[in-house]
């Protein structure tokens, strides 16, 4: 699984309660994506684990307010 950092588009800093309500709605949307394990969500960014690649995740995020900032690829090492 890859560790992913997402950023919300089109945020207004002074929006107050509306930003909080919209943030909860957007967090619920992330949790509903198959294969996603949400690590942390705020109104402005989210971190999550996703088993696929960048193209797969961006396809699932189409039509949402989230955009992929960076994907940290997880690697497994075997000690001998």
Domains by residue range for the chain, with CATH: 2-72 (3.30.70)
- pLDDT, tens only, 11-62: 555 555 555 566 677 788 888 888 888 888 887 788 888 888 888 888 888 8
Give strand pairing partners of 72.
3
pLDDT computed for residue 16 by the predictor: 52
Could you tell me the pTM of the whole model?
A: 0.68
How far CA 67 is from CA of 5, 44, 46, 77, in Å, comes to 9, 11, 10, 30
Provide the b/e sequence for 64-77 (b: ≥16 CB within 10 Å). ebbeeeebeeeeee
Please tell me the distance from the alpha carbon of residue 73 to that of residue 25, in angstroms, as a whole number: 27
pLDDT computed for residue 1 by the predictor: 72
């Amino acid at each position: 699984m890859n560790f992913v950092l997402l950023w919300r588009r089109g945020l207004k800093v002074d929006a107050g309660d509306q930003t909080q309500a919209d943030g909860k709605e957007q967090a619920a949307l992330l949790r509903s994506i198959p294969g996603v394990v949400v690590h942390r969500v705020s109104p402005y960014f989210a971190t999550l684990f996703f088993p696929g690649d960048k193209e797969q995740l961006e396809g699932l995020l189409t039509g949402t307010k989230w955009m992929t900032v960076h994907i940290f690829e997880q690697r497994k090492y075997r000690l001998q």
